[in-house]
Amino acid sequence: MQTTILDVSGSKAQPLTIDAAISFEPFISHLRQRMEEEPTVKAWLYKEVLAQFEASDISGQDIPLEDIHQYAPLLEYVYACLSPAMSSEQYLAWGLSFPFLPLIFYGTNLLYGLMGGKSENHTYQVTRTPEDYHRERLQLIYSLVLKRLYNFQAPVKMDQYHAGMDNATGLLQYYSVNINTDFISVTAVGDLPEIDFVQLYTHFSEGSGVEVMEEMLPLHLFRFRGFCVATVTDVTAKKAVENISQVRLSRTALVDEQSYEQVILSLKSLVRDRNMEFDLFPFLRVNNEPVYGFEKGGTGILASVWGEGRLSPEEFSRQAKMFIAKPMIFFSSDIFQENRKEDFLEHFRKLGVRSLAILPLFYLHEPVGAFAVHTWKDHMFDEKTLALLEPALASVAQLLQIYIDEFNGEIEKVIKEKYTSIQPAVQWKFNEAAWEYLYRVKRNQPATISNILFEQVYPLYGAIDIRNSTIERNKAIIADLDGHLSILANTLDVLRQYQQNDLLKQMIYNCQQWQQALVQQQLSPADENALNRFLDVEAVQYLQHIAAQFPVSRETISSCLESMAGDSNKQALEASMQLINQTVNEYFESEKNKLQESYPCYFEKFRTDGIEYDIYIGQSISPDRPFDHFHLKNLRLWQLSSMVTITRLTYSLRVSMSKELHTTQLIFVHNHPIDISFRADERKFDVEGAYNIRYQMIKKRIDKVHIRNTEERLTQPDKIALIYSDPKDVDDYLPFIKYLQDTGMLLPGVEELELEDLQGLSGLRALRMSVAVEDAK
């Protein structure tokens, strides 16, 4: 212990004129109170210490700072009472200071070593400016005045952090300085001024409390006696983790240079080794497939080994999936001494890595990335050093999660701007979920986006399909290929007059063989690829060779190549399909706002070879508006009448089509409410719960269903089919069918049909009506 007077501010403290002096009176008063209240053996200690102070007869005296060394025995009693009983002085930075002045007059050797700059391993420094240091002292003084004399707790933070340099590593260390003012008495000189505490609290909240206090309560109005107790604690690990947690990653780079330097310096301070290196590698996914990140984060060794410079996207995805599926820790203090079979180690050796640890990082139990700890060349570390990083792993994982979230946000932003948007009918639910998420983030609470769920909604499903689209597409492809082969065969026959060799004969033979295969329609996908290669590569290269050898043939060959360049049948088919889908899509776009007029509903359409749609309506979608069965009936009438309109529209398009196509119309009636939730990965609503899965199964399996005991497909051109399970399901539709027949939109008659059993499904029935399409011409 020492009784040396030490200015711990490093001469940064501004003058502070206050009536203050060292006194043992507050401490003695505290001892008397504790002795009466303490039921343990500590009461004996307090009694002995109190006897020593009473014998010295200094209870009410002011102790001059320069004479403090004369009271060293009494100061030891203070230390004995106020320091932790089992703490060694060697490891405790503890001391007493003049009231509100940065002057230590008694303390442990460690405290003097740190704050006096005489420690062999550390140098302590005040990291605040003189102005900040002065402001903090005023906050401490006025907080005590308000608490003792006005019973008001000022809303100010009293934590103080200072930085020191570890001389052995050259890295910063952080210290928490706690100033205890329990042993200082405050008395007013004269009457206390009145204070508007509401206004004062507002000033403190706005950061101007100290300035207001200096005007309202000048320091000369008060008298301070006693001493402060200062405790300095090494909080390097805590502060390093806090520094990492404060970093926010940008979406265009894993970390900007300044932020990354802060992260690395904090990690190095944590392990107390400036030779340690670190690398961050986030697990980014698109459609749940791992993809490369935009930028490397750190030394880049993981990006060098796993990145696009060495691995193809497919191989990277495969290796990333393996690591994510089985995220194991790898550690080697010297990878050059490893005999394990991991092939990737050789790549790290080539980079000059010596010690290596690869740690999987998790956020909310999900893998978010890999964290590499390594050294170069001759520097090494062991498991003990690695264990020092444990407090920071959660913060580092959070950094990667932030980057992943921003990456996903960028993807979602593009999708929302270019492809889809949240519909107004359900926007409120997404707004609530987004707010709840942001609120938790701002409060530094564990934050996950809430599930978007709508309970007890009625589903309506419809599908407009292009009849035999797959068959028509295959026919078009074969027709184009046959046409190309015919043009090539005729051209090769003409070229006989210029050249009669075995190569030409082989080309003619190959062309005939492919023509025969097309006639028999025996093309597999592999055969189709081989035929395309024959036409696009082998034949073209041969014809170009002949044109170079025989200039007189160039016109014939050019005409051949030009004719083979187009796929007229396929283009005609695609144009017709596009015309149908565009017409149907435009109709739905014009109708979707009308659907909301009666009652808000969710309408979502999907593009296949035709167009499918889901509609959901129910009380939970619009809690503020009463929902009843008439809203559902109105939507069902629209569904049926819109199918009639679409049938007539697509029929009228046939005269404009390059390739005549027909459409079929299908409605699936499900008369029971279901629960739906929003699937963020697919950006659409889907059924929720095992009970409702049957609805989803039926939707996916009915598009090509046959009538029972026949080979006839239920869906037919120019007709509308309603599939249902129970006759009561179509009660709402029967009056609508009659209404549309009476108005001439549907032809008379309704077919009542039983449908074949499907996998896991039986008992389905259907109604089928014919549309009056002739009136649509």
Tell me the longest C-alpha to C-alpha distance in the chain. Answer: 134
Structure-token match 């008060």, residue found = 222
Quote the pLDDT of residue 410: 67
Phi, psi of 680 (to 5 degrees): -65, -30
Question: What is the spatial distance between Cα 69 and Cα 61, in angstroms, rounded to a whole number?
Answer: 16
CA-derived radius of gyration, the chain:
41
Give the residue from 181, 213, 234 where a domain finishes. 234
Question: What is the spatial distance between Cα 758 and Cα 763, in angstroms, rounded to a whole number?
Answer: 9
By DSSP bridging, strand 765-770 and strand 684-688 are unpaired
Give the residue from 566, 600, 623 where a domain finishes. 566
Say whether both 180 and 63 belong to one domain.
Answer: yes
What is the residue type of 633? K
Residue 714 lies in a domain: yes
Residue 662, classed as helix, strand or coil, is: coil
CA quadruple 395, 128, 259, 333: dihedral, nearest 10:
-60
Question: What is the spatial distance between Cα 720 and Cα 709, in angstroms, rounded to a whole number?
Answer: 21
| Pair 273, 381: CB distance under 8 Å | yes
Say whether both 345 and 280 belong to one domain.
Answer: yes
Residue 592 lies in a domain: yes
pTM over the 0.75 mark? no
Quote the pLDDT of residue 415: 42
Closest to 508 in 3D by CA, of 582, 239, 499: 499
Residues 6+ apart with CB under 8 A from 24: 53, 58, 59, 61, 63, 74, 78, 226
| Pair 316, 292: CB distance under 8 Å | yes
Quote the pLDDT of residue 539: 86
Residues 6+ apart with CB under 8 A from 701: 758, 759, 761
Name the residue range of residue 409's domain.
239-414
Burial bucket for residue 655 (CB in 10 Å: 0-12, 13-18, 19+) = exposed
Structure-token match 């200690």, residue found = 45
Closest to 635 in 3D by CA, of 648, 624, 621: 621
Question: What is the spatial distance between Cα 502 and Cα 474, in angstroms, rounded to a whole number?
Answer: 34
Residues 6+ apart with CB under 8 A from 351: 301, 304, 305
Closest to 573 in 3D by CA, of 468, 649, 713: 468
Quote the pLDDT of residue 510: 85
Alpha carbon 1 to its chain centroid, in Å, reads 54
| Pair 437, 450: CB distance under 8 Å | yes
Q: Which residues pair with 721 in a beta bridge?
A: 666, 768
Quote the pLDDT of residue 290: 85
**DSSP class of 478:** H
Phi, psi of 196 (to 5 degrees): -85, 100
Residue 327 lies in a domain: yes
Say whether both 209 and 261 belong to one domain.
Answer: no
What is the residue type of 63? I
Residue 148, classed as helix, strand or coil, is: helix
DSSP string, 176-241: EEEEE-TTEEEEESSPPPP--HHHHHHHHHTT-HHHHHHHHS-GGGEEEEE-EEEEEEE-HHHHHH
- Domain CATH code at residue 261: 3.30.450.40
Residues 6+ apart with CB under 8 A from 767: 721, 722, 724, 730, 733, 737, 750, 751, 752, 753
Say whether both 329 and 427 belong to one domain.
Answer: no
Residue 687, classed as helix, strand or coil, is: strand
Question: What is the spatial distance between Cα 334 and Cα 336, in angstroms, rounded to a whole number?
Answer: 5
Question: What is the spatial distance between Cα 745 and Cα 135, in angstroms, rounded to a whole number?
Answer: 84
Say whether both 353 and 483 belong to one domain.
Answer: no
Say whether both 712 and 675 belong to one domain.
Answer: yes
Say whether both 701 and 634 belong to one domain.
Answer: yes
Say whether both 433 and 397 belong to one domain.
Answer: no
DSSP string, 545-594: HHHHH-GGGHHHHHHHHHHHT--HHHHHHHHHHHHHHHHHHHHHHHHHHH
Q: Supply 700's token pair.
A: 């996916």
Q: Which residues pair with 373 in a beta bridge?
A: 278, 357
Residue 394, classed as helix, strand or coil, is: helix
- How many CB atoms sit inside 10 A of residue 238's CB? 15
Give the residue from 527, 548, 566 where a domain finishes. 566
Residue 458 lies in a domain: no
- Domain CATH code at residue 692: 3.30.70
Question: What is the spatial distance between Cα 769 and Cα 748, in angstroms, rounded to a whole number?
Answer: 8
Quote the pLDDT of residue 422: 67
Say whether both 765 and 624 belong to one domain.
Answer: yes
HEC-encoded secondary structure of 330-352: EEECCHHHCCCCCCHHHHHHHCC
Q: Supply 483's token pair.
A: 């046409």
Quote the pLDDT of residue 252: 43
Question: What CA–CA distances, in Å, run from 415 to 117, 292, 408?
Answer: 59, 19, 10
- How many CB atoms sit inside 10 A of residue 664's CB? 23
Residue 459 lies in a domain: no
Say whether both 189 and 109 belong to one domain.
Answer: yes
Residue 739 lies in a domain: yes
Quote the pLDDT of residue 635: 94
Residue 460 lies in a domain: no
Residue 163 lies in a domain: yes
Structure-token match 């206050």, residue found = 18
Cα angle 96-99-100, degrees, rounded to a multiple of 5: 110
**Domains identified in the chain, total number:** 5
Residues 6+ apart with CB under 8 A from 488: 511, 535, 539, 560, 564
Q: How high is the mean pLDDT in each 10-residue block of the chain (777 residues)?
A: 84 78 94 88 89 87 92 93 83 91 90 71 60 82 89 73 69 83 92 83 72 85 94 85 70 57 84 89 82 71 84 87 90 87 82 93 92 92 91 88 79 47 71 66 70 88 90 85 87 83 84 83 76 86 86 87 83 90 91 86 85 92 91 94 95 90 94 84 70 79 91 94 93 95 94 90 92 76
**DSSP class of 251:** S
- How many CB atoms sit inside 10 A of residue 568's CB? 13
Q: Which residues pair with 771 in a beta bridge?
A: 746
Q: Supply 655's token pair.
A: 């005269």
Residue 718, classed as helix, strand or coil, is: coil
| Pair 488, 494: CB distance under 8 Å | no
Say whether both 146 and 269 belong to one domain.
Answer: no
Half-sphere exposure (CA, 13 Å, Cβ side) for 205?
Answer: 6
What is the residue type of 265? L
Say whether both 442 and 528 belong to one domain.
Answer: no
Question: What is the spatial distance between Cα 588 and Cα 601, in angstroms, rounded to a whole number?
Answer: 14
Question: What is the spatial distance between Cα 173 and Cα 668, in angstroms, rounded to a whole number?
Answer: 69
Question: What CA–CA distances, in Å, run from 505 to 64, 484, 500, 509?
Answer: 119, 18, 8, 6
Burial bucket for residue 517 (CB in 10 Å: 0-12, 13-18, 19+) = middle
